[in-house]
Amino acid sequence: TCQMVETSPRCLPNKPSCKDLHCLKGTTCKMVEGWPKCVANKPSCDDLHCPSGTTCKMVETSLRCVPINPSCNDIHCPKGTRCKMVETSPRCLPISQPPLVCHVLGRW
């Protein structure tokens, strides 16, 4: 490129950049020690769109959409109920009351 050096124009070599390098799929250009270099992309769940009812998780070395397993940690039950797993779903069920025990005339 043409640049002014002191008072006169000179042709100087371009500084290498990622604009000059075309990387293969699965790699991205990064400047390493002043030089453009293609490096492997790190997988990210930001790049994977999972269908409803699934979530992105790293499985071994790759990203996968896996089913969401709901649990009692995912819901808040109203007073008087308690969460219990029914088949594969968390449910708010009434808290069962223990049977009443009466003490009448010295007898239980």
Residue 35 — pLDDT band, cuts 50, 70, 90? confident
Number of structural domains the chain divides into? 2
Instruction: Please check whether residue 48 is in contact with residue 65, taking contact to mean a CB–CB distance below 8 angstroms.
Output: yes
Asked if pLDDT for residue 38 goes beyond 90, the answer is yes
Asked, for residue 105, whether it belongs to a domain, the answer is: no
Asked if pLDDT for residue 100 goes beyond 70, the answer is no
- CA–CA dist 95, 67 (Å, integer): 30
pLDDT of residue 58: 82
pLDDT in tens, 57-68: 887 778 888 888
Asked, for residue 100, whether it belongs to a domain, the answer is: no
**Which residues make beta-bridge pairs with 8?**
5
**Which residues make beta-bridge pairs with 53?**
none
Pseudo-torsion of CA 47, 51, 55, 57, nearest 10°? -50
In terms of phi and psi (left: phi > 0; alpha: psi -120 to 50; beta: otherwise), the region of 38 is: beta
Q: How many CB atoms lie within 10 A of CB 23?
A: 16
Same domain as 85, residue 62: yes
pLDDT of residue 78: 92
Q: Domain limits at 21?
A: 2-40
Asked, for residue 47, whether it belongs to a domain, the answer is: no
CA distances from 74 to 26, 63, 67, 95 (A): 36, 23, 15, 19
Q: Indicate the average pLDDT of the chain.
A: 82
How large a percentage of the chain has pLDDT more than 90? 11
Asked, for residue 45, whether it belongs to a domain, the answer is: no
Please state the length of the chain.
108
CA distances from 54 to 4, 67, 68, 80 (A): 59, 4, 5, 31
pLDDT of residue 29: 92
